A and B are shown apart, each in its own frame.
Chain A
């Protein structure tokens, strides 16, 4: 016979040393009941109202005064025999108060009846019942110890703006399933968000060909996962191939083979992007963001270079500079007169030489093939492609095989292009999607904690702090949340954690989490996440189905 999911599982418990409060309460569990952290329970309280609580931790207590008492009680260490009477003990659950149905925040009384919340109760407890249908984005499944399941909905107004925006996912690589989750969520957005037709998505592929097959269905998707997709009222389908655009980097062999510098090549038409000086002249600063520049001399020179390149033929000195090698080895940066090289403006020759050295290394000696002298017919300008984004379409930009400086350039280019597009657009601009979601993994590389003044960081901060009102939403992921700039994480209205190690959990970035929730994050299984959303009163544990697009081998 199936167990009654509404049975009483315990009673409120308040003691002289461990009181129930408006924020927390305790209850003991009946002996046969199994509960776990993150279960949501309801307590019968005043005026027939219910107080919902999130189980934070469970403690088993006994009447043994000490461990020594237990040793002595077993006939001085008799380990093989069971005691004639098991020691009296109980498991006590510590709960954080989530809400009360009548807004009565009197502490849960001792002996109050406790039950597992039902599916409707779970939503009420979190405050998710107030989310309007058109704003609901399925974000995973909440599953409780008694088998009750409830879909977890995010409020689109807080995920995609205008009330709040941005998402951050962190956790140990391989166990936290960060990329899978973000792509699942994006899939849910494109299926359920009322304004999905006017929402464009830009995904940066940073590992192998993880995101280079999102238009192909996952033939290995098992029935339990399909069921989970269905329980979330979502279709387990790949991204429609007529709405997926792959932008792949040019490689050293692309000219001869026609193949991009990617781990694998998608089986649908795609574009190959490259950077010639002509389409990089306003982005040179992004190439040198990582170079220490204490006295700002390099930045001053970059300003001069960018200004000169922008002026083009109007400036005699810069008019002849057409290629990377022309910039590095030709005038005005390299002119020998009177036997020694001169500086430019107030920038000394030593800085000019340093600039040339770094630029040569990035664009010539250590480049992946991304930098070309001229764009060919087969290569495109990434910035230009991004400017043409359309609502309902997904753009995958592969950066896996690029060098670090190249990755920074590409990500910065995307951010800057989109930001400028939206910041400078007219309201009447009908072609632009209302929202653009940009997803990048390893966000800590672009916006590391404790740094300031790099062009890419400035760009990320710009999007984090002002993107919400413009419709630009950043979905970031990284192993360690603490490694990301706090102004970036602080602006995320939704934060998700996969399995995270204890040392990381001790960092300042997690101070908003209850210690018990932190401990729980260290033992999450693959496919389980802790989700904190602006609308929710406490973080919840969710699980989500395997991706519906083809998974790389």
Chain B
């Protein structure tokens, strides 16, 4: 039996640099876990779709109905979705580093992504997995000497370690700990892209479901590189989504604009909406909504509804048959659910829930981190 420390403890050496070269105020009571915002999925979707709040163009070829009935496409019949991808992150505030009148929070972050593969018999297994361990500080608040020493030390730990600048993303004036979350999210998108490509390349007949929006630049870049204008075999599913978009339904003089509530209030169980064109810069997706569960059993109308995005690389919209087939297969994913384990169970796809769990299980817990990662005493004073 051999004992192996979790990889994140490699960052202890970076903490030593900060101890030696800055004044450190350790977090009161040891490291504290930064909570993710409860509605982070929705905020994320809002950001991804902020450029495109009016979806006025149907984006499927062969259907003009607003609501399309679905029939579950089950695994024994055709095992369409075989890969499930989710990324997650966890961060710990470990203290504040002070240099003269400058200060920066010191945050340790774990970012991971897992693609699960479902065998024809239904068993799930990990198909691809990656994780990064981050040390986040505000570069503007530390001297170049400290920053380069940190980067030097951390680069020696390997590709899975990184010193990140808290201020690289987010908005000026925003709380630094919140900006650290945004920085981590970008890293998460990067490794989601890596993991996704690892999972789907060479398996074009097996479709993948990714959790959350995929409308970020890097992934489209990679998809174009590998698929050119062909249809990549993946959809993204959002269980919490922006309520901002408005939709134009109907044709000619009968056309009318409705908001999301109006669109979804009439959506029956086991139906999808027509697909709309959505665009973020040059990244086009066909987007539609589906009601997975009986409205009468839910507490409010948007429960049990998911938003589906199909990245479209070709200049033409996807055929309606494909959209419906994908929807049929997604409808079959409604059993089983993480009811009782996740408050988003009504819109959560179980294999995605398992992918999320696999990512989080690979992270160290706050108690392990507190026990193993401590501010070391300074050994030199610059």
Contact = CB atoms under 8 A, between A and B. Distances in A.
A69 B342 CA distance: 11
Contact of A85 (B1, B297, B351): B351
Nearest to A48: B1
A75 B1 contact: no
Interface in A24-46: 31, 44-46
B350 A85 contact: yes
A387 to B, nearest CB: 64
Contact of A69 (B1, B72, B340): B340
A44 B2 CA distance: 12
A202 B186 CA distance: 86
B338 A45 contact: no
B340 A83 contact: no
Contacts of B340: 64-66, 68-69
Interface string A45-71: 110000000000000000111101110
A112 interface: yes
Given A75-B334, A78-B335, A85 B341 contact: no
A84 B333 contact: yes
Contacts of B72: 81, 84
B254 to A, nearest CB: 35
Contacts of A82: 74, 76
Nearest to A45: B1
B226 interface: no
A73 B340 CA distance: 10
Given A76-B297, A84-B75, A46 B1 contact: yes
Interface stretch (B50-58, B106-114, B117-125, B369-377): B117-125
A84 B1 contact: no
Interface string A148-183: 000000000000000000000000000000000000
Nearest to A74: B335
B335 A84 contact: yes
A251 interface: no
Interface in A81-106: 81-88
A412 interface: no
A76 B76 CA distance: 21
Contacts of A45: 1
Nearest to A73: B336
B292 to A, nearest CB: 9
Nearest to B75: A84
B336 A70 contact: yes
Contacts of A249: none
Interface string B1-23: 10000000000000000000000
Interface residues of B, number: 27
Nearest to A47: B1
A88 B293 contact: no
Interface residues of A, number: 27
A283 to B, nearest CB: 67
B293 A85 contact: no
B206 to A, nearest CB: 15
Contacts of B341: 63-65, 69
Nearest to B331: A84
Given A84-B74, A84-B75, A86-B123, A73 B354 contact: no
B294 interface: yes
Contacts of B76: 82
Nearest to B341: A65
A243 B213 CA distance: 89
A85 B74 contact: no
A309 to B, nearest CB: 76
Contacts of A76: 293-294, 297
Given A66-B340, A86-B123, A88-B124, A73 B1 contact: no
B1 A83 contact: no
A423 interface: no
Quick one: which of A63, A75, A112 has the most chain B CB within 10 A?
A: A75
Contact of A75 (B75, B118, B293, B345): B293
Interface string B280-308: 00000000000001100100000000000
Given A45-B1, A85-B350, A88-B354, A73 B335 contact: yes
A84 B74 CA distance: 6
A76 B335 CA distance: 10
B52 to A, nearest CB: 32
B335 A83 contact: yes
A81 B74 contact: yes
Contacts of A66: 340
B339 A86 contact: no
A83 to B, nearest CB: 4
A44 B72 CA distance: 46
B141 interface: no
B197 interface: no
A72 B122 contact: no
Interface in B237-296: 293-294
Interface in A355-370: none
Contact of B332 (A44, A74, A84): A84
A75 B336 CA distance: 8
B337 interface: yes
A109 interface: yes
B84 to A, nearest CB: 9
A72 B293 CA distance: 10
Interface string A219-259: 00000000000000000000000000000000000000000
B354 A72 contact: no
B124 A73 contact: no
B339 A85 contact: no
Contacts of A69: 337, 339-341
Interface string B312-348: 0000000000000000000011111111110001000
Interface of A: 31, 44-46, 63-66, 68-70, 72-76, 78, 81-88, 109, 112
Interface of B: 1, 72, 74-76, 118, 122-124, 293-294, 297, 332-341, 345, 350-351, 354, 357
Given A76-B294, A84-B122, A84-B350, 10 more contacts: A44-B1, A65-B340, A65-B341, A68-B340, A69-B339, A72-B345, A76-B297, A82-B76, A85-B354, A87-B350
9 tightest A-B CB contacts, nearest first: A65-B340, A73-B336, A69-B340, A83-B335, A69-B339, A73-B337, A86-B122, A84-B332, A83-B336
15 contacts: A46-B1, A63-B341, A73-B337, A73-B339, A78-B335, A83-B336, A84-B122, A84-B332, A84-B334, A84-B336, A85-B350, A85-B351, A86-B122, A86-B336, A88-B354
